[in-house]
Amino acid sequence: MRISTAFVMLGLILTSSVWGQVPNLPKTPTEVGTEQLTADQIPSGVHELTAVDVEAFLDGIVPLQLERDDIAGATVAVVKDGKLLFAKGYGYADYEKKKPVSAEETLFRSGSVSKLFTWTAVMQLVEQGKLDLDRNVNEYLDFKIRDAFGQPITLKNLLAHTPGFEEQIKDLFTVGSESPNLGAYLKTHIPARIYPPGTVPAYSNYGAALAGYIVERVSGRPFNEYVEQNIFKPLGMDHSTFRQPLPPTLASFMSNGYQLASDEPKPFEVVVPFPAGSMSTTASDTARFMLAHLQNGKLDSALMLRPETVQLMHSRLFALDPAANAMAYGFYEESRNGRRIIGHAGDTLYFHSDLHLIPDAGVGFFVSHNSLGRGNPPPRTTLWAMFLDRYFPYNASVTPTLESAKEDANAVSGSYILSRRSETSFFRVATLIGELTVSPVGDGMIEVAQLTGPNEKPKRWREVAPMTFLEENGHDKLVFKPDQNGRMQMILPYPFFVGQRVGLFENNKVLLTVIGVSLLIMLLTLVLWPISWFVRRHYGHKLGLTPIERRLRLAVRIVFVLVLFFMAAMTGLLVYASTHIWFLSDRGNTWFHLAQVIGVLGAIGTLVVLYNAIQSWRTREKRIWSKLQATLFVLACLGFLWFAFAGNLLRFSSNY
């Protein structure tokens, strides 16, 4: 559930009644937007997917990953054809005490994989006629989501991450022994609506938590209790819970969380919008959930969902282009090795999980780590790719590069800002700094600097269809097309956010260059100030300034001190918050606001710097270098203002 991130799509499947009528689903392996193989096209692998082979394969890889990437422990489960094929723990739940991980008993935090249980609960109530996916969510709430864009938010929008909310970061995590109040959180942390519903994918933890609250309201039970009685208990998931803190019966089974295995264990993370990511579970329990979804909602004698509901839940709901992966009803697509795969990833600060289903093969894969580790890409991503290559080998046909590749590569180049972002608070600056940069390379190829491979170098992409670029020696696609306003957008392989091209004002290459040069000018001015005084004193030289010129000279340097202190303070606070995320709460507001007050004073001080420049040019006795220096000081201040306003650094906000 990381402030961390995903991506994009256009609604293809509609339900027309409170029961969620199921449209005609494809009867062949070919689905819109994916390159699926028919049975006779699937290459026969050297390795058969058996318990013995899977154990040998994972035993040879996972322990090495843990050691290499400084990860304390991992838990893995694989299901196939209605049965648990493999489940095993690796490494340690307590690294210092060398307490081993057990796939059956050790609890890991599954982060946003929890959302699949929230969406399953929603679909259960849809089956019962208690929820309508197309109805305004305000009809199910005891508070109101603000009107915007003349359109209501529906449950379908929440399922597809298209309600149009900006990113909500404040109070996402906390620590302590107090159970979070979901209703109070949702009522006091309503994000701004920055897109019309159903138009732009922007991953939203708030939206998933809102869906969980609707489950509470409609079922008449607390969310934790509803999931326990309607999902965990029927499926026999006896070591799973959304409750925070953990129930006494499960607390002793909880794994520690780590940044690195070699670090100290971290405190239990309390997820405040808990339906979005608080679940603690085991690999064996998660395997039972995967089996139920792969068997049309049934496990043993328990019926979690009706078959038609499961088929609907796994079908495409929203995509911005038929060639791109889609959001299903809570699951999201990834197309690899010629297979249509649905699933979800999940991250807390210290736990990192992946759940993947291959419906047409009856296979499910779950892995979770209790440490971030040092791997890039994350070891769970590498493990999944290796699993697919071993048991689902795929020899892709060579697709020729289009003749228009070079021209189109130039056309799509530029900087792209992610749709999942804080738009109205000072956290917008983090989004600007993290922009994706598309550049033409070679003969008609592109690379995205931030999308790197295992060698940590940018992947390369070539055009295989109009404005569609395929990863070189890979499976992912980038699709470029204008949005409804004509702005170019980059549709990423992950369907829960999209890249939106920005102009000069928001281009981070320009912004970072401008702010870097501006701050350097201010810093050098302050550093050279006492040095120049010492040199003049040593040689007996005086500046010969009038009293007002002396005061202006001092005032300009005070402005520079304010600006530099503000930038240093905001940088320090944001860096501190990145590793102490519970600081992003009311306790951190005072510090951010104090820094912003200093920033506002520095911004107002630009008028002083401008007045000083005007006076310099009016004074004929002034040398030209003094006039140019005063002008340079004005430009430095304007550079700071540009960066501050583009990143909302001076916008006071208690909700972000």
pLDDT for 164-193, tens place per residue?
999 999 999 998 888 999 999 999 999 999
- Predicted pLDDT of residue 455: 82
- Which of 534, 555, 653, 546 is CA-nearest to residue 605? 555
> Stretch 411-436: mean pLDDT, rounded?
94
- Predicted pLDDT of residue 24: 30
Q: Report the CATH number of the 104-351 domain.
A: 3.40.710.10
What pTM was computed for the model?
Answer: 0.89
* 338 Rama class: left (phi>0) / alpha (psi -120 to 50) / beta: left
For the cut 60, the answer to whether the pLDDT of residue 522 exceeds it is: yes
Do residues 443 and 453 make contact, with C-beta atoms less than 8 angstroms apart? no
- Predicted pLDDT of residue 125: 98
- Which of 230, 231, 235, 180 is CA-nearest to residue 209? 180
Q: Which of 41-50, 163-172, 386-395 has the lowest mean pLDDT?
A: 41-50
CA 364 remoteness from chain centre: 23
Residue indicated by tokens 């970061």: 169
579: how many CB neighbours lie within 10 A of its CB?
9
- Predicted pLDDT of residue 31: 29
- Predicted pLDDT of residue 9: 27
For the cut 70, the answer to whether the pLDDT of residue 11 exceeds it is: no
- Please give the C-alpha separations between residue 194 and each of 76, 197, 420, 464, 497, in angstroms, as whole numbers: 39, 9, 10, 33, 13
For the chain, which residues make up each domain, given as ranges? 104-351, 405-502, 508-646
- 323-368 tens-digit pLDDT: 999 999 999 999 899 999 999 999 999 999 999 999 999 999 999 9
- 557-567 tens-digit pLDDT: 999 999 999 99
- Predicted pLDDT of residue 41: 38
CA 322 remoteness from chain centre: 23
Do residues 84 and 291 make contact, with C-beta atoms less than 8 angstroms apart? yes
- Predicted pLDDT of residue 377: 84
Continuous segment of H or E residues that includes residue 646: helix 624-646
Do residues 215 and 125 make contact, with C-beta atoms less than 8 angstroms apart? yes
Do residues 172 and 271 make contact, with C-beta atoms less than 8 angstroms apart? yes
For the cut 50, the answer to whether the pLDDT of residue 6 exceeds it is: no
- 104-120 tens-digit pLDDT: 999 999 999 999 999 99
> Stretch 294-310: mean pLDDT, rounded?
97
For the cut 60, the answer to whether the pLDDT of residue 29 exceeds it is: no
- 433-459 tens-digit pLDDT: 999 999 999 888 999 999 988 788 899
- Predicted pLDDT of residue 390: 96
- Predicted pLDDT of residue 30: 27
Which residues in 181-193 are b (16+ Cβ under 10 Å) and which e? ebeebbeebbbbb
- Predicted pLDDT of residue 267: 93
> Stretch 600-612: mean pLDDT, rounded?
96
3-state secondary structure of 74: strand
Do residues 461 and 471 make contact, with C-beta atoms less than 8 angstroms apart? yes
- Which of 353, 352, 351 is CA-nearest to residue 343? 353
Q: Which amino acid is at 223?
A: F
- 234-276 tens-digit pLDDT: 999 999 999 999 999 999 999 999 999 999 999 999 999 999 9
Q: Which of 323-327, 429-433, 617-621 has the lowest mean pLDDT?
A: 617-621
- Predicted pLDDT of residue 39: 37
272: how many CB neighbours lie within 10 A of its CB?
24
For residue 377, cis peptide bond before it (omega within 30 degrees of 0): yes
For residue 107, what are its two tokens? 């609890």
Q: Which amino acid is at 366?
A: F
Q: Residues 6 or more apart from 581 whose CB is under 8 A from it?
A: 3, 172, 173, 349
DSSP state of 275: G
- Predicted pLDDT of residue 38: 39
Sign of CA dihedral 229, 21, 33, 338: positive
Q: Which amino acid is at 115?
A: K
Class of the CATH domain delimited by 405-502: mainly beta
For the cut 50, the answer to whether the pLDDT of residue 16 exceeds it is: no
For residue 594, what are its two tokens? 């104090």
Q: How confident is residue 147, by pLDDT bands cut at 50, 70 and 90?
A: confident
What is the rounded distance in angstroms from the CA atom of residue 61 to the CA atom of residue 108?
Answer: 20
For the cut 70, the answer to whether the pLDDT of residue 36 exceeds it is: no
Q: How confident is residue 74, by pLDDT bands cut at 50, 70 and 90?
A: very high
Q: How confident is residue 375, by pLDDT bands cut at 50, 70 and 90?
A: confident
- Predicted pLDDT of residue 15: 22
Burial of 485 (0-12, 13-18, 19+ CB in 10 A): exposed
- Which of 204, 200, 207, 201 is CA-nearest to residue 186? 207
Q: Residues 6 or more apart from 474 whose CB is under 8 A from it?
A: 453, 459
What is the rounded distance in angstroms from the CA atom of residue 190 to the CA atom of residue 467?
Answer: 37
Q: Which amino acid is at 475?
A: H
Q: How confident is residue 10, by pLDDT bands cut at 50, 70 and 90?
A: very low
Burial of 633 (0-12, 13-18, 19+ CB in 10 A): buried
Tell me the pLDDT of the chain averaged across its residues. Answer: 90
